[in-house]
Amino acid sequence: MIPSTTLKLMTRPLYVASRSFVSGEPARPTIKTEIPGPQSAILLKDLDSIQAMKSVQFFVDYDKSLGNYIVDADGNTMLDVFTSISSIPLGYNHPNMLKAFDSDHAKKVLINRPALGVYPGNDWVDQLRNVLLSCAPPGLDQVITMMCGSCSNENAFKLMYFKYMDKVRGGIPPNDEAMKSCLDNLSPGTPRLSVLSFHGGFHGRTPGALACTHSKSIHKIDVPLYDWPVADFPRYKYPLEENTQENTAEDKRCLDKVEEILERQTKNSNPCVGIIVEPIQAEGGDHHGSANFFQGLQDICKKHDIVYLVDEVQTGGGPTGKMWAHEYFNLRDAPDIVTFSKKMLTGGLYHKPDLRPNNAYQIFNTWVGDPSKLILLDSVLKTIRQDKLLETTLKAGDVLLSGLRRLENQFPSLLHSARGIGTFCAVDADTSARRDQILAKLRTEGVHCGGCGETAIRIRPALIFETKHANIFIESLEKVLKTF
């Protein structure tokens, strides 16, 4: 049950094509070879001789890639609706990004990368305030930079622990026994605490984040992890408007389960210090939750006095038509923590003041982020505002979702459950095998797309993705579906 504001967006009429935001962008895909082609095959073999990276799909000529189009090593030009797993905000070689390091000052920031936790540049505070805080989630005015989504979540967990243990001690600093015992990973300095996550969630591949990740076995197999609890995330029936009663009951079932788990963890002396949740379970299959569900989670966190962490690593930065997807949920106040990366180009976390660590080095690593990424992000944010890209995203998203719904009605045995906010869209195939066949055939049509979960086709274009690109995608998908 997506918020009513979102449902209104989903029912808008189609829009006509507009100008390209990147001059010289190809008009359509062009395919010369199979994908991966012979040059990619040579490079794959060469790579394999020095690095085990069997996840590589094809090699890219980033010099030739432009706008919404990615060009592979064999010269195939594809409409890219996957964008390095939703990580390229303005497409390829956007002119505003290319000139971000034109100034001598920017170049010096790039080459003199500081250890920000101890020796930040004299303009670092201005960068934080003018760039990261300029797009902060409403109600959050504290920010910590990191390098990626995983380390952002790991450090968010630490803030949860610190707050909980400070409450347990009544604000008194840890004693000598605690300080000594933690060096041997023993109590009382190493307490038994947990974080609640959800089936289908993905939060990273480092140990704490991985303990909260429940989307694919290959992420976790053979890795020792914390014994942390996991709850059910809603699984709705589509179309939403035809299944209101069932989906409302699903929200209640999942919220009741969260309450039950929190109480059990306290009884088992392994209390939950917080809940981590994605606005849309991206890796797990693009599962949506309603405003009612997310409001309910916040109410539960307040009731139990634990931290509400919203992981916006994939949804943050504009792909839903708002900078932050949780803005659609009309929460009573801001989440306690919002983590980010991907389209934001740097990792990090926004948080409330009561989560500030008490001591130096409690949240720390050598780099604590990279100021050069904020130079790039500044260019992205200015371009979003200048070109009204959030509006563009909503318009393109309307065309995408309308097209997906038309295709699922046209091919009901192949597709179902079209859903999305902005261009953050997905549709399910009837089987995993069919989904993979559709993705492969889309490449032969010149469209690079991705999958997630068991059967979902996920769409993750750049913010410069327009209605004309959406129409090319829908046209290509229809052509592929007809082959079945």
Question: Looking at 11, 366, 431, 483, which residue is catalytic?
Answer: 366
Provide the edge-to-edge strand list for the sheet that holds 456-459. 415-421, 424-429, 456-459, 450-452
Catalytic entry in 72, 74, 286, 311? 311
Distance CA 367, CA 183 (A): 24
Identify whether the C-beta of residue 231 lies closer than 8 Å to the C-beta of residue 198.
Answer: yes
Query: What is the radius of gyration, based on Cα positions, of the chain?
Result: 23
Phi and psi angles of residue 364, each rounded to the nearest 5 degrees, phi first? -165, 145
Q: Name the one residue in this structure whose structure tokens are 């179309």.
A: 239
Chain centroid to CA 20: how far?
Answer: 26
Q: What is the spatial distance between Cα 304 and Cα 196, in angstroms, rounded to a whole number?
A: 13
Catalytic residue status for 329: no
Catalytically annotated residue among 59, 157, 162, 202? 202
**Helix extents (H) in 77-226:** 83-86, 95-98, 104-111, 124-127, 149-168, 176-181, 207-211, 217-220
Whole-angstrom distance, CA of residue 397 vs CA of residue 384: 16
Read out DSSP for 323-366?
A: SSGGGGG--SS--SEEEE-GGGSSEEEEE-GGG--SSTTSS--S
Instruction: State yes or no: cis peptide before 191, omega within 30 of 0.
Output: no
Nearest CA-CA partner of 284 in 195, 193, 220, 227:
220
CA angle 162, 164, 167 (to 5 degrees): 105
Name the catalytic one among 342, 343, 352, 468: 342
Question: Are 430 and 416 contacting, i.e. CB atoms less than 8 angstroms apart?
Answer: yes
What amino acid occupies position 439?
Answer: L
Asked if 466 and 20 touch (Cβ cutoff 8 Å), the reply is yes
Phi, psi for residue 61 in degrees, rounded to 5? -95, 95
| Whether residue 366 lies in the annotated active site | yes
**Do 76 and 35 form a contact (C-beta atoms < 8 A)?**
yes
Query: What is the set of active-site residues?
Result: 202, 311, 342, 366
